[in-house]
Amino acid sequence: MEWQTDWGLRGRMVLTMLLLGVLYLVFIGILSLYFTSALPILLVMGAFMGAQFLFSDKLALKSMGAREVEESEYPDLYRSIRRLSQQADLPMPTVAVADTSVPNAFAAGRSRKTATVCVTTGLLSALDEDELDGVLAHELAHVKNRDVAVMTIASFLSTIAFLIVRWGWLFGGRNRRGGGVVVAIVVSLVVWVVSFLLIRALSRYREFAADRGGALITGDPAALASALATIDGRMDRVPDEDLRSQAEMNAFFVIPITRGFVGKFARTHPSTERRIERLQTLQRELSGR
């Protein structure tokens, strides 16, 4: 299938990134008022961003208890990912599996050449071949769109703001006695809250784009829609302990965990119903050609 750009979604993503950029420029400008030199800010932020960019994929896999697997262990999974990667014009990613009953999948890696596609054993047992292809294609669309790198960069200064709020007592500078630390903490709190909301809006837009891209890779939007419905339904049967242990990976999963206050407040994905509606519309568009 021909890869198509959804310009409406692209426009909303660009607007959100611009708003984040303006927010972060203001944030850096205000913080610079409370340091005698900008060098400490640049060094700390540079080191933190470099570590986050280089090791975010390994941290994601580790937090899920996932491991890289060989083709001899999961030949069918390898076969599907290799075929879909060729259809998407992507290099073959590393394949990983997490041994958990939570039916889900995610992509990690800072570039197309270093990408990893991870699935859970719960997902492999829950879906048929076409549905699994739909989910794998969705993850490959994230890789093709460079979503992992985009979201890592977008969330970087939000993380810095959160650390300042949490560890603000470490901050000093020439205005310590004049309340400079308090100002820096308050500004950081505002930046973190606003960027929290903007980043989650960006994440939701990118999920719609990955749904569309994955459906175009397979040429079968209905299969991905069916997979989303199946996964969403299976979530109700997963023990709460398992869901809590996986909740920190919400931004990466193909279907997020939304049980409880935290899951609903930190929604990184559109509702399954809205995603299925869009896929059904795409199915009708493709069928009418």
Please tell me which residue, 262 or 195, carries the higher pLDDT value. 195
* pLDDT cut 70: percent of the chain above it: 64
Q: What is the pLDDT of residue 178?
A: 47
The chain-wide mean pLDDT, for the chain, equals: 78
**Average pLDDT for 216-230:** 94
Residue predicted with more confidence, 101 or 159: 101
Cα separation, 98 vs 180, in Å, equals 46
Query: Residue 245: pLDDT above 60?
Result: no
Residue type present at position 116: T
Percent of the chain with pLDDT over 90: 34
pLDDT band at residue 9, thresholds of 50, 70 and 90?
A: low
Tell me the mean pLDDT in the region 145-168: 71
Residue 177 in this model has a pLDDT that exceeds 50: no
DSSP letters of 167-200? Answer: TGGG--STTTTTTHHHHHHHHHHHHHHHHHHHHH
Buried-exposed string 110-121: b where 16+ CB fall within 10 A, e elsewhere: bebebbbbbbbe
- Evaluated on CA atoms 120, 263, 11, 198, the torsion sign reads negative
Q: Is the dihedral of CA 212, 71, 235, 193 positive or negative?
A: negative
Q: What's residue 59's pLDDT?
A: 77
Q: Which of 139, 241, 248, 285 is catalytic?
A: 139
The highest-confidence range among 5-9, 86-90, 148-152, by mean pLDDT, is 86-90
> 3-state SS string over 83-133?
HHHHHCCCCCCEEEEECCCCCCEEEECCCCCCCEEEEEHHHHHHCCHHHHH
241 is catalytic: no
* pLDDT top residue among 51 and 60: 60
More confident residue, 276 or 244: 276
Token output for 88: 């998407």
Provide the residue ranges of all domains of the chain, joining segments of one domain with +.
7-287
Per-residue burial over 233-249, b if 16 or more Cβ lie within 10 Å, else e, is: ebbeebeeeebebbbeb
- How much is the pLDDT for 262? 45
pLDDT at 195 over 90: no
Stated pTM of the model? 0.76
pLDDT computed for residue 123 by the predictor: 94
For the record, the structure tokens of 45 come out as 């932020």
Confidence of residue 233 (pLDDT cuts 50, 70, 90): confident
